Structure formats: C-alpha cells, structure tokens
C-alpha cells in the first residue's frame, strides 16, 4: 500500500513538473512579429570644449517593430522622437564670439527624429532579456539656440550614432536602458572643434 501511494505521488510530481515546464515554455514563446510603443528619458550631453560638463534630462518617445527570426536572434527597427539639450561653457575663451551675443551659459535644444535598427540577442534560456546593438540615424527636426547672432544653423542636420543596451520583454510591458555614442561631428560652423552627442536612454513601454 505504501509503495502504491509513493507511485501515485511520483506520478503527480512528474505531471506537475511537466505542466510547469510547458507553461514556462509557453510564457517564453514569442511570435515572429510584434510591435509596440515606449516612452522615457534621454539623458544627454554634447562633448566639446565649448560645452559644460554634465548630462541634461530630456524626453524621448517612439514606436517599434520586432521580428524574432530565430529563438535567439531578432531585428528591431524603431522610429523615435528624441529631444536633446546642452549648455555652452561660461568660459569666454571656449565660445565662438562671432556666433553668440553677449553673456554666458547659452543653451541649445535639439529635436531629432531618430531611426535605430537593433540586433536583438536573447540572454540566457529565457527570451525575456535581450542584448541590443545597432546603428541609428538621426534627422534634426529643429534647433533652438539662445542669443544666436547668426541666422544660419550651427548644428548639422543629420548624424549617425551607435547604440547598445538591454531590453526586458515581459508579456505586455517592456523596459530597458541604452547607451548612445555619436559618430558624427555635428558642428556645422567650422572644423575648429568637434561636437558629438552622448546619451543614456531609459524607457518603459507596451508590446502587442
């Protein structure tokens, strides 16, 4: 009788383990195609001797498409609105005097339409955590600079950058963080200084 009970308990344990395993696999299952939206912070700075050190907190939002090609690898193109802001140094020797009016601490606000394309690589046995790496093209929609003498633009209208980070994909909610490094010198005035964007992007969104 004791052996019979042990046999029944063993069958129940095996059945429970099998059901749990199937449930876990179904929870980690990903469709070939998914899409969604996200919103978050773009914590950026522009490197260059004319700029103050430190990051500025700004806004970003966008939509994405996700193509899960295999169980491990996928492609994710996005279209994002990204706002960046910077502050010029208060050291007169670092500022282009022929471009700006009198005063210090000039601020610039740049609005980009950014189109990154990521390679997604699943980390570990779960399909929930993804390493993301890829290039991004940013088209400058608008540039606003305080106390600008010149009527011309001081920033280039486009830039290329490289972005890497982690993406956590839950059944409905997604969130993550990325680091962006600019590859293009965005200084449209001359070649005396090199200005490049850098940013830490943190976001949360939904996936369908």
Statement to judge: residues 1 and 60 lie in one domain: no
Exposure string over 170-181, b if 16+ CB within 10 A, otherwise e: eeeebebebebe
Return the DSSP state at 119: E
Domain that holds residue 23: 1-30
Statement to judge: residues 6 and 45 lie in one domain: no
CB 62 within 8 A of CB 90: no
CA 66-70-74 angle, 5° bins: 30
Statement to judge: residues 17 and 90 lie in one domain: no
Find the DSSP H helices in the chain.
2-28
> Phi-psi category of 135—alpha, beta or left, where left has phi over 0 and alpha has psi -120 to 50?
beta
Statement to judge: residues 145 and 82 lie in one domain: yes
Statement to judge: residues 20 and 91 lie in one domain: no
CB 151 within 8 A of CB 188: no
Statement to judge: residues 193 and 130 lie in one domain: yes
pLDDT tens across the length of the chain (208 residues): 555 555 665 665 566 555 544 544 444 567 899 999 999 999 998 887 667 777 889 999 999 999 999 989 999 999 999 999 887 765 545 555 555 555 555 788 999 999 999 999 999 888 899 999 999 999 999 998 875 555 567 899 999 999 999 999 988 999 999 999 999 999 988 888 899 999 999 999 999 9
C-alpha span between 43 and 179 (Å, rounded) = 10
Size of the chain in residues = 208
Three-class SS of residue 92? helix
Domain count, the chain: 2
Question: Could you tell me which of 62, 106, 112 has the C-alpha nearest to residue 84?
Answer: 112
Task: Kindly list the distances between the CA atom of residue 193 and the CA atoms of 3, 94, 103, 186, 187, in Å, as whole numbers in the listed order.
Answer: 83, 10, 21, 10, 7
CB 160 within 8 A of CB 186: no
C-alpha span between 115 and 82 (Å, rounded) = 10
What is residue 20's predicted lDDT score, i.e. its pLDDT? 46
Can you give the CATH number for the domain in which 137 is found? 2.40.160.20
What is residue 146's predicted lDDT score, i.e. its pLDDT? 72
Statement to judge: residues 141 and 197 lie in one domain: yes
What is residue 173's predicted lDDT score, i.e. its pLDDT? 94
Statement to judge: residues 18 and 86 lie in one domain: no
Statement to judge: residues 53 and 18 lie in one domain: no
What is residue 31's predicted lDDT score, i.e. its pLDDT? 84
Count CB-CB contacts under 10 A for residue 66: 24
Statement to judge: residues 26 and 40 lie in one domain: no
Statement to judge: residues 115 and 161 lie in one domain: yes
Statement to judge: residues 10 and 76 lie in one domain: no
C-alpha span between 62 and 108 (Å, rounded) = 22
Task: Kindly list the distances between the CA atom of residue 67 and the CA atoms of 36, 44, 103, in Å, as whole numbers in the listed order.
Answer: 12, 29, 51
């Amino acid at each position: 009788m004791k052996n019979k009970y042990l046999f029944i308990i063993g069958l129940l344990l095996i059945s429970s383990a099998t059901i749990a395993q199937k449930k876990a696999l179904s929870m980690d299952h990903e469709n070939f195609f998914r899409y969604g939206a996200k919103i978050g912070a773009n914590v950026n700075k522009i490197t260059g001797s004319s700029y103050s050190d430190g990051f500025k907190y700004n806004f970003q939002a966008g939509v994405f498409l996700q193509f899960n090609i295999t169980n491990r690898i996928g492609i994710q193109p996005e279209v994002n609105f990204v706002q960046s802001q910077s502050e010029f140094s208060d050291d007169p020797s670092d500022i282009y005097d022929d471009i700006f009016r009198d005063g210090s601490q000039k601020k610039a606000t740049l609005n980009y339409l950014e189109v990154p394309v990521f390679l997604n690589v699943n980390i570990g046995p779960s399909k929930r955590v993804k390493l993301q790496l890829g290039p991004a093209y940013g088209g400058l929609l608008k540039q606003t600079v305080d106390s600008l003498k010149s009527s011309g633009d001081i920033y280039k209208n486009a830039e290329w950058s490289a972005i890497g980070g982690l993406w956590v994909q839950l059944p409905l909610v997604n969130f993550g963080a990325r680091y962006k490094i600019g590859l293009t010198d965005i200084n449209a005035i001359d070649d005396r200084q090199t200005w490049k964007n850098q940013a830490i992007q943190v976001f949360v969104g939904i996936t369908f």
